Amino acid sequence: MPAEARAAGTGDDDSPVRLGPPQTQEWPDGDWVVRQVPGAAAVKLYRCPGCDQEIRPGVAHVVVWPAQTPGLAERRHWHIACWQRRPRRSGPGSYR
């Protein structure tokens, strides 16, 4: 067990398990940074904003946040399928 269980220096994540590399995706409502969360890194229960269902611990999913306003508070956890199925529309009132 290495002494450096918590890597100092990256500072971009609070998870002890490495996530996938961040990818920037372009959507009608802006650019979003998407990272894959492997099942081993999913240790908490989240609620998917796409289907309003729970993402249970151990389920691989994605975490996304707006590229313009990076920050932990803006993070959202989605089922992979729900994120990819996100309607590509830019109608009024759906900006946030």
- What are the residues binding Zn ion (CB under 5 A)? 48, 50-51, 79, 82
In this complex, which beta carbon is closest to Zn ion, that of residue 42 or of residue 48? 48
In this complex, which beta carbon is closest to Zn ion, that of residue 68 or of residue 84? 84
CA distance 37 to 19: 5
CA distance 16 to 83: 24
Shortest CB 48 distance to Zn ion, Å: 3
Shortest CB 89 distance to Zn ion, Å: 18
Shortest CB 9 distance to Zn ion, Å: 33
Nearest CA to 51 out of 77, 17, 13, 20 is that of: 77
CA distance 83 to 1: 36
In this complex, which beta carbon is closest to Zn ion, that of residue 18 or of residue 85? 85
